[in-house]
Amino acid sequence: MPRVIDFTQGNETDWNEVRLPAPVLGTREISEEEIGAIADAMKDLVGGFEAQFSTYGRSVPRDQAAELYDAAHSWLSANMTGPWYWTEHWSNHGHNIDVAVYVERVPDQAAFAAAFEHLFRYTPASEHALQKLAIERGVLPPLTSKESFLKWTREHQGFEFLPYEDLGDKGIRIAFSHPEIEAKFVERYGAKFTIEESDGRRTYAGSTAGTTWRDSPDTWLSNQSAIGNMRSSGDGTWELEVRYANVAEALVRDWGHIFQPGGDEGTYRAAEYPGVPYRVLPSDFRAYLEGAADSYDAPYLPDELHAFRQQTQAVSGLRPA
């Protein structure tokens, strides 16, 4: 995301209310538009851009914050040879705003760490993060719902939040895949929503304006999912709640090698958390990340994402100062 917060303003709890006159997006910086395009193209959450740099836990003098963050953002814009992603987010129960930065290539990471070690804590990317990145960069094929349990749960939760930008900041649009959850929703909120048809399915469009987080439709729906909480037991096993018989049947069919029926109806247990399979990163992609190559093959990159790759791809011959 671009630089958006005016860190010169007052109390830390007010910073999120005071914005710069216009967002500042750096050279080769990943935009929110690209994040949304990846999510739409992959039909999945975007999780590959895990920040390696964070100010969390660092003491940043309030009267110097604007100067320090502007300097870091400008330095990234001038020196990065590949994509990077800047985020400003709340921490400490809303009393602080911390900054986190994702930097794609290892030489860029080393240069930024050296230039701003007084401001950011650096944690190199895990192999798990690189696996997710490789999918979102089109290097590896997307995981299926039989490989990713998280993806399976989203496909079977019974509803889906759809794009709502045309409805305004407080807009909300929902489609259902489980009739019982849909019926409960209509009974509770139906009068406040407009029924639409999209891609051959019924959707509901409305607004969360005038509601609190406790009674908003999205909060209510999060508690109605066909799949309940997954909890770690004291003996190291995991326990999952499934609320509908047809979803339980799908769980046994797709993930019965991991989950076994528990003692109570609708409860299933796993000896370990259902992880994703490890896949070897192609050598050209790893070489690109490590700075030994400026490009890589992306056979699984959807066509609509090629333009974004051109905007943020590594620049041959450019090295961080």
Instruction: Give the model's pLDDT for residue 42.
Output: 84
Q: Compute φ and ψ for 187, nearest 5 degrees.
A: -60, -35
Instruction: Give the model's pLDDT for residue 317.
Output: 44
Alpha carbon distance 304, 30 (integer Å): 15
CA-closest candidate to residue 125, choices 94, 85, 75, 71: 85
* Length of the chain, in residues: 321
Assigned token pair, 267? 């409860």
- Enclosing H/E stretch for 136: helix 127-136
DSSP state of 14: G
pLDDT tens string 6-43: 877 655 555 456 788 888 999 999 998 999 899 888 87
pLDDT tens string 195-226: 998 778 899 999 998 888 888 998 999 899 99
Once rounded to an integer, what is the mean pLDDT over residues 164-185?
92
Instruction: Give the model's pLDDT for residue 91.
Output: 67
The Cβ of residue 235 has, within 10 Å, a number of other Cβ atoms equal to 7
pLDDT tens string 254-276: 999 999 998 788 999 999 999 88
Assigned token pair, 19? 């914005």
CA-closest candidate to residue 101, choices 63, 74, 127, 62: 74
Q: Dump strand ranges (E) for the chain.
A: 3-5, 19-24, 53-54, 84-91, 96-103, 121-122, 159-162, 171-176, 194-198, 201-207, 227-232, 238-242, 259-261, 267-270
> b/e per residue, 82-110, with b = 16+ CB within 10 A?
bbbbbebeeeeeeebbbbbbbbbbbbbbe
Residue 156 has pLDDT above 90, yes or no: yes
Instruction: Give the model's pLDDT for residue 198.
Output: 76
Q: Where do we find the tokens 């920040």?
A: 51
* SS3 state of residue 119: coil
List the Cα angle 114/126/277 in 5-degree steps.
Answer: 165
Domain boundaries in the chain? Answer: 32-125, 159-217, 280-316
Alpha carbon distance 102, 87 (integer Å): 9
CA-closest candidate to residue 203, choices 232, 173, 179: 173
Q: Quote the pTM value.
A: 0.81
Ramachandran sector of residue 138 (left: φ over 0; alpha: ψ -120 to 50; beta: rest): left
